[in-house]
Amino acid sequence: MTHTHDITRRNFIVGTAAAGAGLTLGFYAPLGGTAPLAAEQAHEVNAWVVVKPDDTVVIRIARSEMGQGTLTGLAQLVAEELECDWSKVTTEYPTPGQNLARGRVWGSFFTTGSRGIRGSHEYVRQGGAAARQLLIEAAAIRWKAEPAECQTAASVITHVPTGRTTTYGAVAGEAADLAAPFDVALKDPKDWKIAGKPLPRLDTADKVTGKQVYGTDINLPGMLNAAIKACPVFGGTLKNYDEAKVSRMPGVRKIVPVGDDAVAVVADTWWRAQKALDALPVTWDFGPNAKASSTDSAQTLRQGLEAKDAYIGNRAGDIDAALANAATRVEADYAYPHQAHATMEPMNATALWTKNKCEVWCPTQSGEAALAATARAAGLPRSRCDVYKLHLGGGFGRRGAFHDFVEQAVTIAKELPGTPVKLIWSREEDMTHDHYHPLTQARLVGALDENGDLTGLRVRISGQSIIASVMPGRMSSGADMFVFQCLAKGGDHAISYDIPNLLFDHAMHNPHVPPGFWRGVNANQNVVYMECFIDELAHAAGKDPLAFRRKLLSKNPKSLAVLDAVAERAGWDKPAQAGVGRGLAVCKAYGSYVAACAEVSLKDTRDLKIHRIVAATDPGVAVNPRQIEMQMEGSFVYGLSALLYGECTVKEGRIEQQNFDSYEVMRLAEMPQVETIVMPSGGFWGGVGEPTIAVAAPAVLNAIFAASGKRFRQVPLKNAGLRPT
């Protein structure tokens, strides 16, 4: 066996392992190199695996848990290769500061793009496999035996020729001193015993007793609380405020400007801080966007549907000829609004700043980006900062690319050196200062020949680019190729259909409302555009929507399989109940193949009843089928909330919706019956959290058409007077 020597490995503070899930106070405590807790009891076998004498295994999880179940899935993958006792597995988050200090031994912390598992499965499994080898080797050395003669199961090592046994906990200390193996083999998923199984989540117990500590729940000794208000108009600035009016209110300690566009009140409690903030007279300079409105943006986007200049995202054949020679030409315009993430837990972060060090406790989808934001705001190098992640009360893309709340918390804490300050955004602040679902419209033109077959498709997308705003460095010659999610030529977001002549392009118009990644991202609107229009084409061709799609999918067996699965389960070949319409949608998103069939009825052109949705996914490998089902169910609630209600409108440069009374979301009574089909075909790793959200809305829209003959082309449906019943 060859070895590389990992000398930094032993320097790591294994004491954090003693804190279990990393969420007990022991994990927060070190404010300057306090002795690690029970360091001698927990042995770091390698970066991923810490073993205690009682055989408890602490698996390190770099990605964030925000409800999507990644924590459990990643632990299953490590445990599978480690062959440890699953009933004794706990987890903890390494910090981004530790990752930095150890040469990014845990890789990326990013938990976005449904990449938590598919982006790290290989090296976390290798981590588990390497730890197992080290434990075996330690036992073999003790026994003066050959590692190859040893077997492992449920944290027990057996020397086969002699029948001697020991446990991981007994040899972990010696294993920790051995050099890491150079190369490890991974199991074939078909041999999995822990991974691939529908195991219960590891993080449920504390979530039903109120013990789970979220960012909003942090309480540090001597901590103060801050409430914040940023200029309601994006791009505006803070002019001044009348401190004297509130500085004597109960509990108020300090009022601080934050950046150039916000002001915060710091008080002993958050309630008092927010109350004083509400009473604080503030004047703003609303800046250049003070007159911006949704009506104006819609107008500009409509012009973009006809603009001459556009970035081409996908092209094949000769679309002009196809349209010119069409027996039937179909054309339709669609639109999709700004939407807020509205995570149940509002944005928050707790910061403790001194001139030598800055620490932050926060929910984040990217610990490393949070660390960078901390360092930036603290005016310190990253090596003098750290971020302690907490499970998120919802992420949905809001807490991945953006750490505005972290920068604000640090900026405030800098005014109070040595005092921890917890910043919580009010719901109103959260809803009016989001990074919103991008605003787009689309015009689709299709060509059918005399047989009713699709010969050409032109899709013009007009509107907002997330990448131009958030990651301008990722633009390709001015174009945002991510705009073409689910319409691309190939890759994770390839178009499902085989269409001989096509042209998809994007006329970019970026309104002043900041866009962001919103669970599903551009797949959400693009699959509405594509799948509803395919339905329109099928109707124009006089064909059954399933048969019409099947023909276009003849070269795409995986998409065909998920589509057939939902059609079969829904009973497509038998007529639906009277008054009920069925609608289909299919796409490839985040590397997975997904489809849905919805059944709805519409009464008095107003009362919408979504009876049932059957959804299927082929994510390649299914690490935890039960979690996948839960993600599919949840994604439909998120996606149908967007379809039914989701809209943030702009008036005088600001978002009009401030709270859940005006930004409605789906509630339990409106939830349809969701039936899920998880059908992993093996050989690839697709995403789970996002793909199915994209098929929710179009399946329902197509079912509404089937039920009522009415075609709705604008999201949300509340604007057309539809209400779920």
Partner 1 sequence: MVKLNVNGEAVDLDVEEDTPLLWALREHLDLTGTKYGCGIAQCGACAVHIDGEVVLSCALPIDSIPKGAKIVTIEGLSPKGDHPIQKAWVELDVPQCGYCQPGIIMTAAALLAKNPKPSDAEIDEAITNICRCGTYARIRQGIHRAAGRRV
Give contact residues for partner 1 (rule: CB under 8 A).
66-69, 200-201, 203-214, 216-217, 219, 225, 250, 269-272, 342-346, 391-396, 424, 426-427, 626-627, 630, 633-638, 641, 659-661, 665-669, 671, 673-674
Nearer to partner 1, 82 or 637 (CB): 637
Question: Residue 680, interface with ligand FES (CB under 6 A)?
Answer: no
Residues 442 to 461 in contact with ligand FES, rule: CB under 6 A = none
Q: What is the nearest approach in angstroms of partner 1 to the Cβ of residue 311? A: 33
Q: Which does 119 bind (CB under 5 to 8 A by kind): partner 1, ligand FES, none?
A: none
Q: What is the nearest approach in angstroms of ligand FES to the Cβ of residue 640? A: 15
- Work out the number of other CB atoms within 10 angstroms of the CB of residue 77: 30
Report the distance separating Cα 134 and Cα 697, nearest Å.
Answer: 50
φ, ψ dihedrals at 185, nearest 5°: -95, 145
Q: Which does 635 bind (CB under 5 to 8 A by kind): partner 1, ligand FES, none?
A: partner 1
Residues 454 to 513 in contact with ligand FES, rule: CB under 6 A = none
Beta strands in 426-531 (DSSP E): 440-448, 454-463, 501-508
φ, ψ dihedrals at 367, nearest 5°: -60, -35
Nearer to ligand FES, 651 or 667 (CB): 667
Q: Which does 165 bind (CB under 5 to 8 A by kind): partner 1, ligand FES, none?
A: none
Among 25, 153, 312, 344, binds ligand FES (CB under 6 A): 344
HEC states along 360-425?
A: EEEECCCHHHHHHHHHHHHCCCHHHEEEEEECCCCCCCCCCCCCHHHHHHHHHHCCCCCCCEEEEC
Report the distance separating Cα 648 and Cα 342, nearest Å.
Answer: 11
Q: Which residue is nearest to ligand FES (CB)?
A: 344
Nearer to ligand FES, 394 or 516 (CB): 394
Q: At what angle do helices 121-143 and 70-82 cross, to 10 degrees?
A: 30
Look up residue 616 and give its amino acid: A
Report the distance separating Cα 600 and Cα 69, nearest Å.
Answer: 30
Q: What is the nearest approach in angstroms of partner 1 to the Cβ of residue 24? A: 14
| Closest by Cα among 595, 586, 585, 582 to 708 | 582
Question: Residue 205, interface with ligand FES (CB under 6 A)?
Answer: no
Q: Which does 304 bind (CB under 5 to 8 A by kind): ligand FES, partner 1, none?
A: none
Question: Residue 153, interface with ligand FES (CB under 6 A)?
Answer: no
C-alpha torsion sign, points 126, 128, 134, 136: negative
In which order are the strands placed within the sheet that holds 150-153?
A: 150-153, 156-159, 164-167
Tokens of 345: 């837990």
Q: What is the nearest approach in angstroms of ligand FES to the Cβ of residue 710? A: 32
Nearer to ligand FES, 438 or 639 (CB): 639
Q: Which does 392 bind (CB under 5 to 8 A by kind): ligand FES, partner 1, none?
A: partner 1
| Closest by Cα among 438, 529, 434 to 482 | 438
Query: Could you tell me if 47 and 80 are in contact, meaning their C-beta atoms sit under 8 angstroms apart?
Result: no
Among 22, 394, 515, 581, binds ligand FES (CB under 6 A): 394
Looking at the DSSP bridge assignments, the partners of residue 614 are 597, 675
Nearer to ligand FES, 394 or 520 (CB): 394
Question: Residue 69, interface with ligand FES (CB under 6 A)?
Answer: no
Q: What is the nearest approach in angstroms of ligand FES to the Cβ of residue 67? A: 5
| Closest by Cα among 134, 232, 141 to 179 | 134
Tokens of 398: 């809001």
Q: What is the nearest approach in angstroms of partner 1 to the Cβ of residue 581? A: 22
Q: What is the nearest approach in angstroms of partner 1 to the Cβ of residue 612? A: 12
Looking at the DSSP bridge assignments, the partners of residue 57 are 51, 89
Q: What is the nearest approach in angstroms of ligand FES to the Cβ of residue 427? A: 8
Judged by CB under 6 A, the number of residues near ligand FES is 3
> Taking the mean position of all CA atoms in its chain, how far away is CA 702?
27
Q: What is the nearest approach in angstroms of ligand FES to the Cβ of residue 663? A: 13
Nearer to partner 1, 136 or 213 (CB): 213
Could you give the angle at the alpha carbon of 456 between the alpha carbons of 594 and 540, nearest 5°?
A: 80
Looking at the DSSP bridge assignments, the partners of residue 650 are 655
Nearer to partner 1, 342 or 530 (CB): 342
Nearer to partner 1, 185 or 208 (CB): 208
Nearer to partner 1, 216 or 556 (CB): 216
H/E stretch holding 696 reads: helix 693-708
| Residue carrying the six token digits 């909330």 | 641
Query: Could you tell me if 230 and 514 are in contact, meaning their C-beta atoms sit under 8 angstroms apart?
Result: no
| Residue carrying the six token digits 């118009």 | 509
Q: Which does 68 bind (CB under 5 to 8 A by kind): partner 1, ligand FES, none?
A: partner 1
Q: What is the nearest approach in angstroms of partner 1 to the Cβ of residue 18? A: 23
Q: Which does 710 bind (CB under 5 to 8 A by kind): ligand FES, partner 1, none?
A: none
Report the distance separating Cα 260 and Cα 235, nearest Å.
Answer: 10
Q: Which does 661 bind (CB under 5 to 8 A by kind): ligand FES, partner 1, none?
A: partner 1
Report the distance separating Cα 312 and Cα 502, nearest Å.
Answer: 11
Q: What is the nearest approach in angstroms of ligand FES to the Cβ of residue 394? A: 5
Nearer to ligand FES, 394 or 463 (CB): 394
Q: What is the nearest approach in angstroms of ligand FES to the Cβ of residue 78? A: 25
Q: What is the nearest approach in angstroms of partner 1 to the Cβ of residue 339? A: 12
Question: Residue 620, interface with ligand FES (CB under 6 A)?
Answer: no
| Closest by Cα among 379, 381, 387 to 411 | 379
Nearer to partner 1, 239 or 667 (CB): 667
Query: Could you tell me if 599 and 719 are in contact, meaning their C-beta atoms sit under 8 angstroms apart?
Result: no
Q: Which does 424 bind (CB under 5 to 8 A by kind): ligand FES, partner 1, none?
A: partner 1
Q: What is the nearest approach in angstroms of ligand FES to the Cβ of residue 666? A: 12
Question: Residue 324, interface with ligand FES (CB under 6 A)?
Answer: no
Nearer to partner 1, 512 or 569 (CB): 569
At 608 the three-state DSSP class reads strand
Query: Based on the number of CB atoms within 10 Å of its own CB, is 309 exposed (0-12), middle (13-18) or buried (19 or more)?
Result: exposed
Nearer to partner 1, 319 or 648 (CB): 648
HEC states along 515-561?
A: ECCCCCCHHHHHHHHHHHHHHHHHHHCCCCHHHHHHHHCCCCHHHHH
Nearer to ligand FES, 67 or 169 (CB): 67
Q: Which does 369 bind (CB under 5 to 8 A by kind): partner 1, ligand FES, none?
A: none
Report the distance separating Cα 447 and Cα 478, nearest Å.
Answer: 30
Nearer to partner 1, 90 or 681 (CB): 90
Q: What is the nearest approach in angstroms of ligand FES to the Cβ of residue 333? A: 35
Tokens of 284: 């703003």
Nearer to ligand FES, 209 or 477 (CB): 209
Q: What is the nearest approach in angstroms of ligand FES to the Cβ of residue 12? A: 32
HEC states along 713-725?
A: CECCHHHHCCEEC
Q: Distance from first CA to last CA of the chain, Å, rounded?
A: 66
φ, ψ dihedrals at 160, nearest 5°: -60, -50
Question: By rule CB under 6 A, what string of x and - marks binding of each residue 23-62 to ligand FES?
Answer: ----------------------------------------
| Closest by Cα among 622, 638, 621, 626 to 690 | 638
Question: Residue 545, interface with ligand FES (CB under 6 A)?
Answer: no
Question: Residue 67, interface with ligand FES (CB under 6 A)?
Answer: yes
User: Where does this chain bind ligand FES (CB under 6 A)?
Assistant: 67, 344, 394
